[in-house]
């Protein structure tokens, strides 16, 4: 029932019936000691320090 209602609302709003989704993620690379600390960061989600 919820899916049918969502489709109707989307169609009435001029959108496609089925929603689209995307997940964007990037790789975290550990930085070598030669890399300046000012260009390094910390990825809290992956618990990795690097670039």
The stretch 24-34 carries a mean pLDDT of 70
Average of per-residue pLDDT values in the chain? 79
Per-residue pLDDT at 14 exceeds 90? yes
Residue 32, token pair as written in the block: 């070598």
Q: Which domain holds residue 22?
A: 2-50
Give the residue with greater pLDDT, 28 vs 24. Answer: 24
How many domains would you assign to the chain?
1
pLDDT for the residue 22: 84
pLDDT for the residue 24: 81
Question: Are the C-beta atoms of 28 and 50 separated by less than 8 Å?
Answer: yes
Confidence class of residue 36 from pLDDT cuts 50, 70 and 90?
confident
Q: How far is CA 11 from the centre of its chain?
A: 26
């Amino acid at each position: 029932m919820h899916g049918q209602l969502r489709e109707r609302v989307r169609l009435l709003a001029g959108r496609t019936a089925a929603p689209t989704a995307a997940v964007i993620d990037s790789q975290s690379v550990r930085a070598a000691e030669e890399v300046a600390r000012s260009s390094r960061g910390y990825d809290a989600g992956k618990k990795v320090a690097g670039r």
